[in-house]
């Protein structure tokens, strides 16, 4: 028989796949790219600073698929996920802007349709009962199964013995006694399974892989929604929320300053049609301006760029602002710390 699984590349989903393979199940994986995975973004930046380090640039889901000798498909769902899940979750947010229940329902509906097309009898995940507070307690797992349209066809191999048997277990296609009963937040059982299966390479276990659960990112997203409205938020806007320091200078004006060379290059490469600023001698972060600043705001922007440069201890600093063929040079005092912090998003 065949099973289609949500494969992130993390230890839990890899173990879930391996448990099924032990019973002779043909496993295929799918990874839905939402645009909110921290690992994916780090890989984008790594292309600029770690070109000779393939480990920093790899896709973990594809790496796991290779280790499992199972095909994995990467599906880009960023636009749909933003509109249907992030901006309008039916089941609300977690502690930040994380719509975990809606996220699982969305992905499992997609997986359900793919499983039908591929002739897979069951969909599986690496979820563990009690591991996550919003989406992995018993009632939430049952709700997700029902609303994804996978009642009786959604298997969680790591916690299967804490859940009602699926159709394939009842039919004897999968031996329930050989599935696991992992529970809670401890990783002890998973690490023991990894040793048993000889799985040595996997990302460090962490619940912090999603930007939407990050309080700083959530604050920036709320700020963007407040000033743009939910219908005004675009997928490309999300990209910039992950980078740099953000300063809100007005309802329609924001400055993003890179925190290191990789972020500054990232912003520079995506500043076409926008003002960009940098101290004249290049010893500082590059900034990307969102909006149309007047002269006073340009001085404020320049002052912030000077504050976060190597020249911040000098009385005045020359800053260059460029947009297409237009260039403006301003000499300004670096911003005071208190004022700069008051503008941080």
Structure tokens at 293: 């600043």
State whether 169 and 275 are in the same domain: no
**How many other C-beta atoms are found inside a 10 Å radius of the C-beta of residue 189?**
17
Convert 232-253 to b/e letters by CB count within 10 Å (16 or more is b).
Answer: ebeeebbebbbbbbbbbbeeeb
Looking at the domain assignment, is residue 232 inside a domain?
no
The answer to whether residue 265 sits within a structural domain is yes
- Domain assignment present for 71: yes
Confidence of residue 280 (pLDDT cuts 50, 70, 90): very high
Burial of residue 72 (CB within 10 Å: 0-12, 13-18, 19+) is: buried
pTM for the structure as a whole? 0.90
Number of domains, the chain: 2
Predicted confidence (pLDDT) per residue in 153-182, tens digit: 999 999 999 999 999 999 999 999 999 999
Query: What span, in angstroms and rounded, lies between the C-alpha atoms of 321 and 188?
Result: 54
Judgement on whether residues 11 and 130 belong to the same structural domain of the protein = yes
Whether 251 maps to a domain, the answer reads yes
> Average pLDDT, stretch 320-341?
96
pLDDT band at 222 (very low <50, low <70, confident <90, very high): very high
> DSSP class of residue 177?
G
Q: Which residues in 310-322 are b (16+ Cβ under 10 Å) and which e?
A: ebbeeeebebbbe
Domain of residue 45, residue span? 2-197
Spatial separation of the C-alpha atoms in residues 192 and 177, rounded to whole Å: 18
Radius of gyration of the chain (CA): 24
What integer pLDDT is reported at residue 200 of this predicted model?
A: 87
Report the CATH number that the domain containing residue 64 is assigned in CATH.
3.40.50.620
Rounded mean pLDDT of 22-33? 97
Structural domain ending residue among the three candidates 164, 197, 230:
197
pLDDT in tens, 130-150: 998 888 999 999 999 999 999
Measured CA to CA, the distance from residue 59 to residue 307 in angstroms comes to: 37
Together in a domain, 193 and 252: no
Which two three-digit tokens encode residue 218?
């959530």
89: in domain: yes
pLDDT single digits (tens) 335-345: 999 999 999 99
Same domain, 139 and 250: no
pLDDT greater than 60 at residue 9: yes
Given a cut of 90, is residue 94 above it in pLDDT? yes
Determine the Cα–Cα distance for residues 86 and 93; give it in Å rounded to an integer: 9
Q: What whole-number distance in Å separates Cα of residue 241 and Cα of residue 11?
A: 28
What does the pLDDT read at residue 133?
Answer: 83
Band the pLDDT of 57: cuts 50, 70, 90: low
Confidence grade of residue 48 (pLDDT, cut at 50, 70, 90): low
């Amino acid at each position: 028989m065949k099973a289609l699984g949500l494969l992130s590349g993390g230890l839990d989903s890899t173990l879930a796949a391996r448990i099924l393979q032990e019973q002779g199940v043909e496993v295929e994986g799918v990874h839905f790219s939402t645009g909110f995975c921290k690992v994916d973004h780090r890989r984008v930046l790594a292309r600029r600073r770690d070109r000779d380090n393939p480990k920093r640039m790899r896709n973990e889901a594809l790496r796991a698929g290779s280790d499992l000798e199972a095909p994995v498909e990467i599906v880009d769902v960023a636009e749909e996920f933003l509109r249907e899940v992030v901006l309008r979750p039916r089941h609300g947010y977690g502690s930040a802007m994380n719509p975990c229940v809606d996220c699982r329902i969305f992905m499992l509906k997609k997986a359900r349709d793919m499983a039908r097309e591929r002739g897979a009898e069951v969909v599986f995940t690496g979820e563990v009962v009690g591991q996550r507070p919003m989406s992995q307690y018993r009632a939430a797992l049952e709700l997700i199964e029902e609303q994804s349209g996978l009642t009786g066809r959604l298997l969680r191999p790591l916690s299967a013995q804490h859940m009602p048997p699926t159709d394939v277990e009842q039919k004897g296609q999968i031996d329930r006694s050989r599935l696991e009963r992992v529970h809670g937040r401890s990783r002890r059982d998973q690490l023991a399974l990894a040793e048993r299966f000889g799985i040595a390479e996997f990302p460090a276990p962490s619940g912090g892989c999603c930007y939407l659960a990050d309080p700083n990112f959530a604050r920036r997203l709320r700020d963007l929604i407040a000033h743009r409205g939910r219908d005004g938020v675009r997928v490309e806007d999300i990209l910039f929320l992950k980078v740099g320091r953000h300063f809100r200078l007005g309802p329609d004006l924001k400055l993003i300053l890179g925190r290191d060379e990789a972020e500054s290059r990232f912003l520079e490469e995506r500043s076409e049609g926008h003002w960009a600023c940098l101290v004249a001698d290049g010893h500082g972060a590059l900034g990307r301006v969102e909006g149309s600043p007047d002269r006073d705001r340009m001085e404020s922007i320049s002052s912030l760029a000077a504050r976060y440069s190597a020249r911040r201890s000098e009385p005045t600093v020359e800053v260059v602002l460029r947009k297409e063929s237009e260039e403006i040079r301003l000499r300004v005092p670096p911003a005071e710390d208190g004022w700069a912090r008051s503008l941080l998003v």
